[in-house]
């Protein structure tokens, strides 16, 4: 008799764990769908933990625009001098210098916005 009661408690605990896991998933967002019999099913949205592609593209575009603005306003010689000083600094500054180094896209944008800034 006691073994059956232990099994019931284990089954109950597993069901509670499963329900809590589903509730946590639904709290991050869900989609509702009505089945043919009229029952509404809630399904959790997938992939909520990833950084969206759109945000990553916007971040890269903002960095590119910032680099182009600095290149256009400072000029290539002054920009390179500042980057070389930055590259001699701490590891974080060196990483910043690597990200901010002039590339063909930022040079092209700097040429396009240079006349507007002057």
Given the structure tokens 């593209």, which residue do they identify? Answer: 57
Does 65 lie in the same domain as 15?
Answer: no
Strands 30-34, 40-44: pairing kind: antiparallel
Residue 48 pLDDT > 60, yes or no?
A: no
Residue 86 pLDDT > 90, yes or no?
A: yes
pTM above 0.75, yes or no: no
Domain range for 91: 53-117
- CA-nearest of 25, 31, 28, 34 to 43 is 31
pLDDT at 7: 76
Count of domains observed in the chain: 2
Give the mean pLDDT of 5-33: 87
Does 67 lie in the same domain as 32?
Answer: no
Cβ atoms 105, 64 nearer than 8 A: yes
**How far does Cα 103 stand from its chain's mean position?**
23
Does 80 lie in the same domain as 35?
Answer: no
Give the mean pLDDT of 68-73: 94
Residues whose CB is less than 8 angstroms from the CB of residue 44 and which lie 6 or more positions away in sequence, other chains included: 22, 25, 26, 28, 29, 30
Does 113 lie in the same domain as 57?
Answer: yes
Cβ atoms 67, 100 nearer than 8 A: yes
Give the mean pLDDT of 39-64: 85
Does 104 lie in the same domain as 76?
Answer: yes
Does 57 lie in the same domain as 15?
Answer: no
Does 7 lie in the same domain as 57?
Answer: no
Give the mean pLDDT of 9-33: 89
Beta-bridge partner residues of 32: 42
Does 32 lie in the same domain as 10?
Answer: yes
Give the mean pLDDT of 20-41: 90
The Cα 100–Cα 94 span in angstroms is 10
The Cα 89–Cα 41 span in angstroms is 57
pLDDT at 4: 60
């Amino acid at each position: 008799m006691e073994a059956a009661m232990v099994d019931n408690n284990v089954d109950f605990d597993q069901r509670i764990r499963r329900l809590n896991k589903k509730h946590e998933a639904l709290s991050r967002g869900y989609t509702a769908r009505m089945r043919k019999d009229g029952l509404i099913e809630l399904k959790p949205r997938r992939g909520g933990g990833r950084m969206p592609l759109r945000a990553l593209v916007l971040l890269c575009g903002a960095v590119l625009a910032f680099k182009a603005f600095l290149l256009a306003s400072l000029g290539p010689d002054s920009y390179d001098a500042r980057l070389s000083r930055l590259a001699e600094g701490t590891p974080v500054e060196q990483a910043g210098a690597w990200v901010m180094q002039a590339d063909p896209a930022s040079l092209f944008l700097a040429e396009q916005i240079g006349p507007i800034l002057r």
